[in-house]
Amino acid sequence: MAQKGRAVILMMDSFGIGGAEDAAKFGDSGADTLGHIAAAQGGLKVPNLAKLGLLKAAEASTGRAPQAGTQEGAKIDLPSKYGFMREISHGKDTSSGHWEMAGSPVQFEWGYFKPDYPSFPAELIKKICDEAELPGILGNTAASGTVIIDELGEEHIKTGKPICYTSADSVFQIAASEKHFGLDRLYKLCEIAFKHVAPYNIARVIARPFEGEKRGEFKRTKNRHDYSVKPPMTTVLDEIKNAGGEVISVGKISDIFAKQGITRAVKASGLEELWNVTLQEAKNAPDFSLTFTNFVDFDMTWGHRRDVAGYAGGLEYFDKRLPELAAQMKEGDIAFITADHGCDPTYKGTDHTREHVPVIMFGPNIKPAFLGGRDTYADIGQTIADYFKLPSLKFGKSFLND
């Protein structure tokens, strides 16, 4: 018999709320994504998030209230639990954050490519080029994707050489023109690269297709695809699927989990489309289901590009859509708002920042509570397992009844 109730995770990619205790180890002392955006913009209009406890969670995280200003006009009226979470995974990357919140923290060290040219070992590039029958590659350094595509896009089209680059994350990224190189060919190339980067302990190979013909006009398309290693242990997604439940991924969640524990994957990109699809999927989801969405723009479009105003606008738009989800929740449904790491757009560099992340749980039958600082993101996975009466996970402590 299926478990009653439905769960939703709204994963705001990169939305940190204050530097973690170990931020200095990562070179991120003083980072505070939410606090610095609010201060730089002279305030934020996020009344619904505030009503659910976001600003109080941020104050508990940093010891000071964000300079968000007075929050009026909230249209959400559901009880909530709120607090912040610490990460125990060794990295501050996408895979580590997502896997940990699902109950599988990364307690080993990822492999990384060096940031300066040439980033990739010559023998690795030779193996990839030989198998893919390529004349060579362009890039071969750490870079912003939009910048390196703009710089090398024309040469790529002329030579047929893909643009390969890395970042501070454990990634090997390949950008190519959908029109001139071909989307299927790019995907096949990424499969080849994924096989050959395995000995280097790299978390993901990412296909970055783009369109356009000349510098200043290149634009990445929505057909990004991540090739990921599998989580190191069983996640709450696996437990739900194995027990006969539904796990509906929206956006890049399925890629991040290497399709493990996913019963239905729905593509979407852009903040508006991700919200539209999430609302539709959550509305139609059956009992004993988890709808899990990654809102990637906070990280990809605004965090890494250090676009403070864009990030602020995204937060305010996200806030405006929350009442739509609240309005369609049934008795017993639960929803979570959280993040996988920080990416402070006011901070030096363009990398992720090691921060606490928010944990907000809301729904019609929630018992209000302040959750304080949680010791691991895995508390979300454990809470969902508890909610669906599934076996306990190895990591995490449930706050379902706190």
pLDDT digits (tens, 9 = 90+) for 28-60: 999 999 999 999 999 999 999 999 999 999 999
Q: What does the block give as tokens for 4?
A: 């009653």
Q: In whole numbers, what is the pLDDT of the chain averaged over residues? A: 96
* Assigned CATH class of 6-108+232-387: alpha beta
Q: What are phi and psi of 182, to 5 degrees?
A: 100, 130
Q: Which amino acid is at 287?
A: D
Given a cut of 80, is residue 111 above it in pLDDT?
yes
Per the DSSP assignment, residues forming a β-bridge with 211 are: 219
d(C-alpha 188, C-alpha 255), whole Å: 15
Whether residue 13 contacts residue 295, with contact meaning beta carbons closer than 8 Å, is answered with yes
Summarised one tens digit per residue, pLDDT across range 261-309 is 999 999 999 999 999 999 999 999 999 999 999 999 999 999 999 999 9
Residue 352: exposed, middle, or buried by beta-carbon count in 10 A (0-12, 13-18, 19+)? buried
pLDDT at 1: 42
Whether residue 279 contacts residue 328, with contact meaning beta carbons closer than 8 Å, is answered with yes
Pairing verdict, β 246-250 and 289-295 = parallel
- Over the range 258-268, which residues count as b (16 or more CB within 10 Å of their CB) and which as e? bebbbbebbeb
Q: What does the block give as tokens for 347?
A: 């901070």
Percent of all residues in the chain with a pLDDT value above 90, rounded to a whole number: 97
Q: Please give the model's pTM, rounded to 2 decimal places.
A: 0.93
Summarised one tens digit per residue, pLDDT across range 375-395 is 999 999 999 999 999 999 999
d(C-alpha 154, C-alpha 226), whole Å: 24
d(C-alpha 154, C-alpha 150), whole Å: 8
Summarised one tens digit per residue, pLDDT across range 244-256 is 999 999 999 999 9
pLDDT at 350: 87
Summarised one tens digit per residue, pLDDT across range 58-109 is 999 999 999 999 999 999 999 999 999 999 999 999 999 999 999 999 999 9
Q: How many Cβ atoms from other residues are within 10 Å of residue 123's Cβ?
A: 9
pLDDT at 3: 74
Residue 1: exposed, middle, or buried by beta-carbon count in 10 A (0-12, 13-18, 19+)? exposed
Per the DSSP assignment, residues forming a β-bridge with 139 are: 164
Q: Average pLDDT for residues 150-156, to the nearest whole number?
A: 98
pLDDT at 202: 97
**What's the alpha-carbon Rg for the chain, to the nearest Å?**
21
Whether residue 290 contacts residue 265, with contact meaning beta carbons closer than 8 Å, is answered with no
Q: What does the block give as tokens for 266?
A: 């729905």
Q: Place 2 in a pLDDT band, splitting at 50, 70 and 90.
A: low
* Cα atoms found within 13 Å of the Cα of residue 147, Cβ hemisphere only: 12
pLDDT at 43: 97
State the architecture of 122-228 in CATH terms.
Answer: 2-Layer Sandwich (3.30)
Structural domain boundaries of the chain?
Answer: 6-108+232-387, 122-228
